[in-house]
Amino acid sequence: MSELWHRLSEPFRSPEHQPIELPGRSPAFILIHGFMGTPAEWRPLAEILHRQGFTVSAPLLPGFGARIVELPAVTLRDWEDTLLRAASRISSHVVIVGFSLGGALATLLAARLQPAALVLLAPFSRMPLPFWYRWLIPLFERFSAGPRPFARVDFDDPAVRQALSGWNPLLDPSDPLVRDELRSLRFPWRLLRELAMTAERARQAARSVESPVSIVQGRNDTTVLARDTRKFVRAFGNLRFFIETPGDHQLVRPEHPAFPLMSRLLITLGEGIGG
């Protein structure tokens, strides 16, 4: 295990990265964070929803936050079990909200629970690998520890800096040592296989979701492409809204152009369900 994985865990021990549990009235919003994220990315929206009186729960998924050293061994089943436990503690109506990877997991959870509503923000629905590449992953595992996703990244790109600061503020991409460590960091092939399976099962599960579905997608998103989300949208039988907005992947940040829209959307949903 790279020493960098252990370094990555340190900043996530602070309180803002811990699970969010804010009691209130019905409905309860379950907020599911993205890949390499934590409940911290939900705190602005969670506080807005709680000020309206709603119950809010944002669990920490296994393998993220302070437990990031466990990520190479985490499975889709681990993520699903955590979310089912979080949902089992709620007795009121539920609105499930998922961002990025959390959008795929939210879809799987919704197919099982059929919540009062499902909201997806830039939902992960396709691994950006050709199908034949995924079939070769077991072979690749025999010859290498895994790909290096940061090997050719431009750390001077403002979008890259913003993304890194979003999940670990101590990773200063202007530091040559940090750059070297990130360029050498490998994601295990097994983890990529789990992510590919998560996307595939989410596409299948979407057909079984009977709940009303709302989806928001950034038009300038280079992480989850708008064209992939447009295909994903077609799998849902009860789509209420599909909104493409200006802006990038970070829909959950208050400075994103879509943030006011999302806040109003969630509050309106909550009032309609709880009222």
Beta bridge partners of 29: 56, 95
pLDDT for the residue 137: 56
Contact 106, 97 (CB under 8 A): yes
pLDDT for the residue 222: 83
* pTM exceeds 0.95, yes or no: no
Is the preceding omega at residue 123 within 30 degrees of 0, hence cis? Answer: no
For 8, counting Cβ atoms within 10 Å of its Cβ (0-12 exposed, 13-18 middle, 19+ buried), the class is buried
For 207, counting Cβ atoms within 10 Å of its Cβ (0-12 exposed, 13-18 middle, 19+ buried), the class is exposed
pLDDT for the residue 65: 85
pLDDT for the residue 13: 81
With b for 16 or more beta-carbon neighbours within 10 A and e for fewer, the 245-266 pattern comes to bebbbbbbbeebebbeebbebb
Contact 85, 105 (CB under 8 A): no
Cα 31 to Cα 53: distance, rounded to the nearest angstrom: 16
* Weakly modelled stretches of the chain, pLDDT under 50: 1, 132
pLDDT for the residue 37: 86
Tokens found for residue 253: 């940040």
Vertex 41 angle, CA 79 and 251, to 5° = 105
pLDDT for the residue 189: 72
pLDDT for the residue 59: 97
Cα 115 to Cα 167: distance, rounded to the nearest angstrom: 29
pLDDT for the residue 250: 87
We find that the CATH architecture of domain 3-133+192-274 is 3-Layer(aba) Sandwich (3.40)
Q: Which amino acid is at 239?
A: L
Average pLDDT, the chain: 85
Please tell me what DSSP assigns to residue 26: E
Cα 8 to Cα 124: distance, rounded to the nearest angstrom: 23
Cα 239 to Cα 229: distance, rounded to the nearest angstrom: 13
pLDDT for the residue 129: 61
